[in-house]
Amino acid sequence: MANIEKTAILQKYLDLDQRGAIIAEYVWIDGTGNVRSKGRTLRKAIRTVDELPEWNFDGSSTNQAPGHDSDVYLKPVAFYPDPFRKGDNILVLAECWNNDGTPNKFNHRHEAHKLFEAHKDADIWFGLEQEYTLFDEFDNVYGWPKGGFPAPQGPYYCGVGAGKVYARDVIEAHYRACLYSGITISGINAEVMPSQWEFQVGPCPGVNMGDELWMARYLLSRVAEEFGVKISLHPKPLKGDWNGAGCHTNVSTKDMRKPGGMKYIEDAIEKLSKRHAEHIKLYGADNEQRLTGRHETASMSNFSSGVANRGASIRIPRSVAKEGYGYFEDRRPASNIDPYLVTGIMCETVLGAIDN
């Protein structure tokens, strides 16, 4: 049966009245940096996160728990309108907790949240630039010539026209889905390597940054699934003269955003320079393949900063330097980061550690 016929049949069922019930799709982060989800029926529409029941899943099937004690608990922390099911149906982001009341080993949100709560007065904001690469069902870079390479990098960044841009339909669908779900998506662009794209989320305060980025990644995987396209967050999906993929992390505090804020930005960069190695540890696996000092990156072995310098670890945007306040950009994080780990250590370094 052709796909178009299946879609027509499915539509009959999608139009059926749900009789007051809603579907809540619970989304969580597994042990491999991927998202997983499963759905359940709730009897009525949800207004606040406290109305959402806790749930659980088989952690032995996701490498998150041993088989003899396999229940991992899902604790809802945020919910979003579901762009796939629409109506009152929702996507629920959940933290993973173990049976003994401790956070699951991959629940990095819990610690980050504590840091942000302790530094609430500083009103720290983040903006993440998520880069990613598209692959087809046979694991070739999407749209690339079979068994060959496209012309060298140059025409693809923000490219327009056949042969310069790939999969605009997937990217557009994801953009719209994010807006529908209330994600603070601030833009998209085609990247330097063909079939590599970027979306930006932010500015978002504190723990919301990680929440929204994870949900935006979930939406991307779901949308791409419908098009039969695979999403890779690997920081260097292709060896050679092809750009890697990062997740530039833009940061500001209340003090940095006020006139005279440059003093606080410089102070933060000074603190960052002293913890380079500790940050790099949390800035994504395989990031050494990307941070080579080439392809718009700084070398991983040393720390640097500069105004408008895209070859530095930290960049102060030209407009920020001109006005004397605003935000700075950490260019080191890889595309496959856990945003809770990265925003968490950023908060700790800039604003101070807390007692646990």
Which of these ranges, 7-15, 123-131, 205-213, 271-279, lies near Mn ion under the rule CB under 5 A?
123-131
Residues binding Mn ion: what is the number (CB under 5 A)? 3
Smallest gap from residue 248 Cβ to Mn ion (A) = 4
Instruction: Write each residue from 236 to 255 as x if it is in contact with Mn ion (CB under 5 A), else as -, in one continuous string.
Output: ------------x-------
Nearer to Mn ion, 86 or 294 (CB): 294
Instruction: List Cβ neighbours of 240 (8 Å cut-off, separation of 6 or more).
Output: none
| Distance of alpha carbon 140 from alpha carbon 163, whole angstroms | 16
Partner touching 150 among ligand ADP, Mn ion, none, CB below 5 to 8 Å by kind = none
Question: Cβ closer to ligand ADP: 186 or 349?
Answer: 186
Letters for 315-354 (x = contact with Mn ion by CB under 5 A, - = none) are: ----------------------------------------
**Half-sphere CA count of 135, side-chain side, radius 13 A:** 11
Nearer to ligand ADP, 90 or 265 (CB): 265
- Minimum CB separation of residue 56 from ligand ADP in Å reads 34
Full 3-state SS string of the chain: CCHHHHHHHHHHHHCCCCCCCEEEEEEEECCCCCEEEEEEEECCCCCCHHHCCCEEEEHHHCCCCCHHHCEEEEEEEEEEECCCCCCCCEEEEEEEEECCCCECCCCCHHHHHHHHHHCHHHCCEEEEEEEEEEECCCCCECCCCCCCCCCCCCCCCCCCCCCCCCCHHHHHHHHHHHHHHCCCEEEEEECCCCCEEEEEEEEEECCHHHHHHHHHHHHHHHHHHHHCCEEECCCCCCCCCCCCCEEEEEEECCCCCCCCCHHHHHHHHHHHHCCHHHHHHCCCCCHHHCCECCCCCCECCCCCEEECCCCCCEEECHHHHHHCCCCEEECCCECCCCHHHHHHHHHHHHHCCCCC
**Residue 59 binds which entry of Mn ion, ligand ADP, none, with Cβ cut-offs from 5 to 8 Å by kind?**
none
257 binds, among Mn ion, ligand ADP, none (CB under 5 to 8 A by kind): ligand ADP
Taken as a whole, the chain contains a residue count of 356
Among ligand ADP, Mn ion, none, partner that 327 touches (CB below 5 to 8 angstroms by kind): ligand ADP
Least distance in Å: CB of 250 to ligand ADP? 3
Tell the smallest beta-carbon distance from residue 39 to Mn ion (Å): 13
Beta bridge partners of 127: 250
Compute CA 129 distance to the chain's CA centroid, rounded to the nearest angstrom: 8
CB 46 within 8 A of CB 79: yes
Least Cβ distance, residue 182 to ligand ADP (angstroms): 15
Q: Which is nearer to ligand ADP, 57 or 126 (CB)?
A: 126
Part of the chain binding Mn ion (CB under 5 A), chosen from 100-108, 193-201, 299-307, 340-348: 193-201
Residue 129 CB, shortest distance to ligand ADP, in Å, is: 4
Among 25, 30, 82, 129, binds Mn ion (CB under 5 A): 129
In Å, how far are 34, 245, 300 from 304, measured between CA atoms? 31, 20, 10
Q: Which is nearer to ligand ADP, 151 or 179 (CB)?
A: 179
Contact residues: ligand ADP, CB under 6 A: 125-127, 129, 186-187, 200, 202-203, 248, 250-252, 257, 326-327, 329
Among 25, 95, 198, 212, binds Mn ion (CB under 5 A): 198
For residue 213, the minimal CB distance to ligand ADP (Å) is 10
Binding mask 150-189 for Mn ion (x = CB under 5 A): ----------------------------------------
Judged by the rule CB under 5 A, the positions of this chain that interact with Mn ion are 129, 198, 248
